């Protein structure tokens, strides 16, 4: 009888017995190179604000962001992703502050690139921090439904992306989910000979309830009120649709694609990576972070091991990189080994 591959001739636990053999057969590895740190930036100077729904996360002004950027660089984290917190006096229905060359984001980008040129800077391209209604696009004031206009929004997004690129952003990351925005932004950047500016497309961004704490952090929750983003962000029930979205963004000129949220959508990450084989990223969003923090605070989960295990799951699913509020903490843990 041929028992090859069967117990007792095959014992899967043999290779698990010792640390050295577990390491030799390890299929997936997590490193600081895989992490992107999202940061919330305030106007002004000398200000720090705690985000109540995201323990350990702060909104900071540029002067207080600089030491954070230096720490990220020293830990080997490749890039920061910037998210602005704009005062109510600068929000409007037309979101024109989004492409103000003297505004918060271009100012922060220029300073970061001057101080830390080797640190990647990624900017969010979306209008929700700047709109008085909290939506990611423009709305016809005469429309009782408040439907976000697609083509008119593209022009605003292109101006916003160009503003960021001119300031020195390495990567612009459209997170709005308007149709055709990648092509419109790429056309605008190329026309200005900004051919090295990369586009990280939020290609499969779902209309998820896991974004709540983020909206608190950037101050758009109050503006959005009881509104929602179902008419442009993806239905959480859909998977095939995500592949169509990714294919379209790649055809239009995206260099990288994003799946958001993260852990509840790891099946989408795997499908995207298997189908396209392109640089694929995932966002461990604010709700995921808040849930883990709550479990840590109550002693229900071990902080260090669960932080790294959750991030490793992204890598195993096929993500090339992970946006995570645990980035600096995880990089410290990985350094300690």
Any idea which residues carry the catalytic annotation?
205, 260
> Do residues 159 and 148 touch, judged by C-beta distance below 8 A?
no
Question: Please, which residues bridge with residue 36 across strands?
Answer: 79, 323
CB atoms within 10 A of CB 213: 23
Which tokens is 102 given? 């003297």
Residue 148: which H helix or E strand, with range? Answer: strand 148-149
**Residue 25 buriedness (CB in 10 A; 0-12 / 13-18 / 19+):** exposed
Encoded tokens for 117 = 């040129």
Query: H-helix or E-strand containing 213?
Result: helix 212-218
Q: Show Cβ contacts of residue 117 under 8 Å, excluding neighbours closer than 6 positions.
A: none
Q: How far apart are CA 68 and CA 196, in angstroms?
A: 26
């Amino acid at each position: 009888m041929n028992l090859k591959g069967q117990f007792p001739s095959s014992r899967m636990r043999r290779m698990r017995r010792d640390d050295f053999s577990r390491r030799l057969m390890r299929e997936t590895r997590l490193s600081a190179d895989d992490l992107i740190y999202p940061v919330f930036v305030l106007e002004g100077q000398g200000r720090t604000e705690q985000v109540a729904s995201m323990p350990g996360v702060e909104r900071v002004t540029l002067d207080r962001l600089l030491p954070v950027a230096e720490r990220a660089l020293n830990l080997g984290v490749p890039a920061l992703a910037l998210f602005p917190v704009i005062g109510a006096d600068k929000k409007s229905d037309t979101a024109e502050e989004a492409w103000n060359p003297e505004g918060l984001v271009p100012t922060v980008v220029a300073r970061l690139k001057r101080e830390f040129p080797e640190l990647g800077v990624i900017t969010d391209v979306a209008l929700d921090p700047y709109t008085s209604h909290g939506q990611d696009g423009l709305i016809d004031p005469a429309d009782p439904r408040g439907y976000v206009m697609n083509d008119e929004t593209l022009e605003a997004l292109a101006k916003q992306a160009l503003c960021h690129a001119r300031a020195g952003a390495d990567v612009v990351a459209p997170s709005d989910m308007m149709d055709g925005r990648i092509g419109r932004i790429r056309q605008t950047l190329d026309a200005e000979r900004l051919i090295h500016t990369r586009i990280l497309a939020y290609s499969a961004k779902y209309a998820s309830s896991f974004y709540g704490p983020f909206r608190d952090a950037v101050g758009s929750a109050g503006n959005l009120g009881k509104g929602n983003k179902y008419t442009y962000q993806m239905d959480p029930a859909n998977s095939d649709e995500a592949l169509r979205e990714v294919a379209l963004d790649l055809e239009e000129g995206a260099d990288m694609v994003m799946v958001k949220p993260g852990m509840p959508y790891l099946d989408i990450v795997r499908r995207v990576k298997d189908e396209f084989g392109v640089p694929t990223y995932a966002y461990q969003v604010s709700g995921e972070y808040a849930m883990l923090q709550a479990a840590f605070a109550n002693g229900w989960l071990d902080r260090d091991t669960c932080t790294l295990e959750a991030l490793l799951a992204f890598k195993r699913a096929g993500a090339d990189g992970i946006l995570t509020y645990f980035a600096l903490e995880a990089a410290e843990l990985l350094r300690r080994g």
